[in-house]
């Protein structure tokens, strides 16, 4: 694993551990394009944060939900049992 530290314009720092193969690919991309590895890490986060939020927040909500109820249980809970 490679530990990478990214500095943003607001002086916020993020350190991440990357698999050596991923770090190699990222370094090569940065070298060939003249951009920094931090640029690409920031791009990936900014462009994917909404999808990550949707996925993980939905997953967390599913884990906290009540157990499923049968039709009969729902009707009883709503006072619809005749």
Mean pLDDT, range 53-75, rounded to an integer: 85
pLDDT one-digit tens code per residue, 8-62: 566 688 899 999 999 999 999 999 999 999 999 999 999 999 999 999 998 888 8
Contact, 37 vs 4, CB < 8 A? Answer: yes
Q: Which tokens belong to 33?
A: 């394009």
Residue 59: its pLDDT value, please? 87
Residue 31: its pLDDT value, please? 98
Q: Answer whether residue 6 shows pLDDT above 80.
A: no
**Residue 66 and residue 68: Cα distance in Å, rounded?**
6
For the whole model, what pTM was predicted? Answer: 0.59
């Amino acid at each position: 694993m490679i530990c990478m530290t990214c500095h943003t314009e607001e002086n916020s720092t993020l350190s991440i551990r990357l698999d050596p193969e991923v770090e190699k690919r990222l370094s090569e991309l940065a070298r060939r394009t003249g951009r920094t590895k931090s640029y690409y890490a920031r791009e990936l986060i900014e462009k994917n944060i909404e999808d990550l939020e949707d996925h993980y927040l939905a997953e967390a909500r599913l884990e906290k939900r009540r157990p499923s109820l049968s039709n009969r249980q729902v009707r009883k809970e709503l006072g619809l049992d005749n």
